[in-house]
Amino acid sequence: MKKLIIFILLAFILMGCTNQKEYDEFGREITADPVSDEEKIITMINECTSSYNNNQINDIQQQYSTTLPTIPIELSGLTLPTVDNISQLTLEENIASNADYIYNLSIDDKYSMQFQLYQPLNSIWLDSDYSFLVDINQITKDDPNFTTEKDILDTLLNEQELAINLLYASGITLGDQHPTNENYFEVQEYQSIDQIKAIAEEVFTQEYLNTLYDIAFYQENPIYLEENGILYASDTSSSISTGIPYNTSYIIASSYEDNRLLIDLAAGYEDDIMPQIYHIELIDEGNGYRLTNTY
């Protein structure tokens, strides 16, 4: 009888131990998630690919006020794959990243997508980064088919850094202080706002420049002042760099639509090329091409 009682007591104790509840720091009960991480990962990736397939990317960019990767030119009009099983993905474990998971999804023998996913695994747009990749072994260095595109890009990408630095008064030589405003100094190399605009308008579209012009010339405390035929600028000592080392020797594809020249290319120094695809859009304004953004 005693053994039976002891057995019953032990059973109750064990039941009590196994049924203990866990709580978070706010006193809320922690319950098991019925959806596995693998299922969440598949859902997130399919959310992304289906948004491209259904032409919803522009709407999503507006909704989240963000810029998402452009689908590669050679994949335009094709359907991105749907993931049914985690085995369709390749887990990347040798990439330096803060992501909890990094998976590659093959699109064809040349292109793939890479997803860097962070906890919690709720939304592809909030809890992840992703990019389109190319097999760099399938890119022809200095491909003669893209000679014209390379020449145009080389010119504009070199000129954009000068134009951006000039609009922000970075790296220019300043002279005497403004007679009544101690924050402004006489510009030595340029004589007028129109002269600065003329340089910028050789590089960028007017639509893109309108926002930059507001900061440089028209806001309450602009970067530049022009008074009595003298150009003044606020003292800015730093230099602005675009950061991404686009390599125009490795152009992947291009297309011309209406008056837009679209170019996919790789980035990297010399022959050390990264597989991530970068997309640049140029506008043909009749008197030359212009960049639609800072690249």
The per-residue pLDDT for range 48-85, each reduced to its tens digit, is: 999 999 999 999 999 999 999 999 999 999 999 999 99
Residues 162 and 291 both lie in one domain: yes
Residues 140 and 156 both lie in one domain: yes
Query: pLDDT tens digits for 233-291?
Result: 998 766 666 678 999 999 999 999 999 999 999 999 988 999 999 999 999 999 999 99
Query: pLDDT tens digits for 10-44?
Result: 554 445 555 566 665 656 556 666 789 999 999 99
Give the Cβ contact number of residue 251 at 10 Å: 24
Pull the structure tokens for residue 26: 């706010």
Residues 293 and 165 both lie in one domain: yes
Q: What are phi and psi of 24, to 5 degrees?
A: -85, -175
Task: Decide which of 272 and 1 is more confident.
Answer: 272
Query: pLDDT tens digits for 107-145?
Result: 999 999 999 999 889 889 988 999 999 999 999 999 999
Residues 266 and 281 both lie in one domain: yes
Answer yes or no: is 19 within a domain.
no
Answer yes or no: is 83 within a domain.
yes
Domain count, the chain: 2
Answer yes or no: is 265 within a domain.
yes
Answer yes or no: is 9 within a domain.
no
Residues 68 and 165 both lie in one domain: no
6 pLDDT above the threshold of 70: no
Residues 47 and 113 both lie in one domain: yes
C-alpha to C-alpha distance for 111 and 139, rounded to whole angstroms: 11
C-alpha to C-alpha distance for 212 and 61, rounded to whole angstroms: 21
Answer yes or no: is 21 within a domain.
no
Residues 140 and 285 both lie in one domain: yes
| Residue keyed to tokens 């330096």 | 96
Residues 44 and 91 both lie in one domain: yes
pTM (2 d.p.): 0.83
C-alpha to C-alpha distance for 239 and 171, rounded to whole angstroms: 6
3 pLDDT above the threshold of 60: no
Answer yes or no: is 30 within a domain.
no
C-alpha to C-alpha distance for 257 and 157, rounded to whole angstroms: 21
Residues 250 and 149 both lie in one domain: yes
> What residues does 175 pair with on adjacent strands?
none
Angle, to 10 degrees, between the axis of helix 206-213 and the axis of helix 193-200?
140
Average pLDDT on 207-222 reads 94
Answer yes or no: is 105 within a domain.
yes
Phi-psi region of 181 (alpha: psi -120 to 50; beta: other; left: phi over 0): beta
8 pLDDT above the threshold of 80: no
The pLDDT of residue 94 is: 79
Which of 134, 157, 187 terminates a domain? The answer is 134
Residues 72 and 106 both lie in one domain: yes
Q: By residue range, what is the domain housing residue 184? A: 136-295
The pLDDT of residue 197 is: 97
Neighbour-count burial for 153-173, b at 16+ CB within 10 Å, e otherwise: beebbebbbebbbbbbbbebe
The pLDDT of residue 237 is: 60
C-alpha to C-alpha distance for 282 and 291, rounded to whole angstroms: 5
Residues 63 and 166 both lie in one domain: no
Answer yes or no: is 103 within a domain.
yes
164 pLDDT above the threshold of 90: yes
C-alpha to C-alpha distance for 103 and 163, rounded to whole angstroms: 39
Q: What are phi and psi of 11, to 5 degrees?
A: -65, -45
Which of 94, 118, 134 terminates a domain? The answer is 134
Task: Decide which of 6 and 107 is more confident.
Answer: 107
- 250 near 141, Cβ under 8 Å? yes
Residues 184 and 84 both lie in one domain: no
Which of 134, 152, 176 terminates a domain? The answer is 134
The pLDDT of residue 30 is: 62
CATH at residue 270: 3.10.450
Pull the structure tokens for residue 65: 């006020």
